[in-house]
Amino acid sequence: MASKKFKAMVVQETPDGKYIRQITDKSLDELPEGDVLIKVKYSSLNYKDGLSATGHRGVTRNYPHTPGVDAAGIVAQSVSDEFRPGDKVIVTSYDLGMNTSGGFGQYISVPAAWVVPLPDNLSLKESMAYGTAGLTAGFCILKLREHYITADKGEILVTGATGGVGSFAVAMLAKIGYHVVSVTGKLDEKQFLMDLGAKEVISREEATDTSGKPLLEGRWAGVVDSVGGEILATAIRSTRLHGAVACCGNVASPDLPINVYPFILRGITLIGIDSQSCPMEFRRRTWEKIANEWKLTALDRQTFVCSLEELDAEIDRILAGEQKGRVIVDLAR
């Protein structure tokens, strides 16, 4: 078993400091020691994988490396009492795909503490349609609800709406009755967003106010933001009294050009979302919601399935901000 070969994407640094991606054979003994060896059936592409695949040292310190922060598959070996060979499981985030060989390979070896049993009512492939992006959208929604932002409170703004986090936030919020307004840089994808359940689609320009006013007219009961920068700052300044803003990404900018007035004059809550270190109890609770109450029935319209060989072009696309919905990677293709 130890010398068994499997297919994986490997990112290598060249002597002139470039990073190249190749599909090669790895052997099981190249994987780290872990409690659970998983035969990966599906993975998915997240923005962070794009960074890992292009030598971003804030994500991955050492190369050669196999990215893939998401994996869903079947337990092949386990020294943990919690998991047995044949169990269907999901692993997302923690260190998977960052400095631990990730889901862009047909096997992963991980600590048992990272492994989530596949919820009933969800297939392995469906779980990777959601992946870290969908799970993060789910974390944002659960956190907004913990801050009393229920559907009757008013409009919810979702930024980066055609992206992985954004598209799942739009669809799941709409599914449970929220009035969703989505922000996109791709106005030609308006129909896609309306089909997901958005009630209104606005441009990034409409969602950006650079007047310098500390407060704008209060419109949003809640916000799911995956872009940061001026759009997040505008959203916070446009949030209604006692509203809440879930902040999870920085594709536009890591900066947040605001002052304290929205917080001290409107009692707005800014909620930070970190899927990587999210406690297991909250993670499992969110997966249960995704598999049941929030379950989406038309996942095909927001997912695209590719092979490991086809993944290279998708990585370039996500880094260019051109991805629409989610890319599932089928490791058996």
Ligand X SMILES: NC(=O)c1ccc[n+]([C@@H]2O[C@H](COP(=O)([O-])OP(=O)(O)OC[C@H]3O[C@@H](n4cnc5c(N)ncnc54)[C@H](OP(=O)(O)O)[C@@H]3O)[C@@H](O)[C@H]2O)c1
Q: Which residues of 83-115 are buried (b: 16+ CB within 10 A; e: fewer)?
A: beeebbbbbbbbebbbebbbbbbbbbbbbbebb
Q: Which residues of 181-212 are buried (b: 16+ CB within 10 A; e: fewer)?
A: bbbbbbeebbebbeebbbeebbebeebbbeee
The verdict on 160 binding ligand X (CB under 6 A) reads: yes
Q: Which stretch binds ligand X (CB under 6 A): 15-23, 235-243, 289-297, 315-323?
A: 315-323
CA dist 66 and 107 (Å) reads 11
The verdict on 190 binding ligand X (CB under 6 A) reads: no
The verdict on 102 binding ligand X (CB under 6 A) reads: no
CB of 324 to ligand X, least distance (A): 7
CA dist 16 and 28 (Å) reads 30
CB of 28 to ligand X, least distance (A): 29
Residues touching ligand X: how many (CB under 6 A)?
Answer: 32
Q: Could you give the angle at which helices 124-146 and 280-291 cross, rounded to 10 degrees?
A: 110
CB 294 within 8 A of CB 176: yes
43, 101, 127, 184: which one contacts ligand X (CB under 6 A)? 184
Instruction: Say which residue the tokens 């919810």 belong to.
Output: 156
CB of 27 to ligand X, least distance (A): 31
The verdict on 132 binding ligand X (CB under 6 A) reads: yes
Residue 20 bridge partners (DSSP): 12
CB of 87 to ligand X, least distance (A): 25
Q: Which stretch binds ligand X (CB under 6 A): 35-43, 44-52, 281-289, 297-305?
A: 44-52
CA dist 278 and 284 (Å) reads 10
CA dist 19 and 31 (Å) reads 21
102, 296, 323, 331: which one contacts ligand X (CB under 6 A)? 323
37, 38, 96, 161: which one contacts ligand X (CB under 6 A)? 161
21, 26, 41, 48: which one contacts ligand X (CB under 6 A)? 48
| Binding string, residues 246-275; x marks residues near ligand X by CB under 6 A | --xxxxx--------------------xxx
Q: Could you give the angle at which helices 124-146 and 164-175 cross, rounded to 10 degrees?
A: 70
Please give the residue ranges that form the binding site for ligand X (CB under 6 A): 46-48, 132-133, 136, 160-166, 184-186, 204, 226-227, 231, 248-252, 273-276, 318, 321, 323
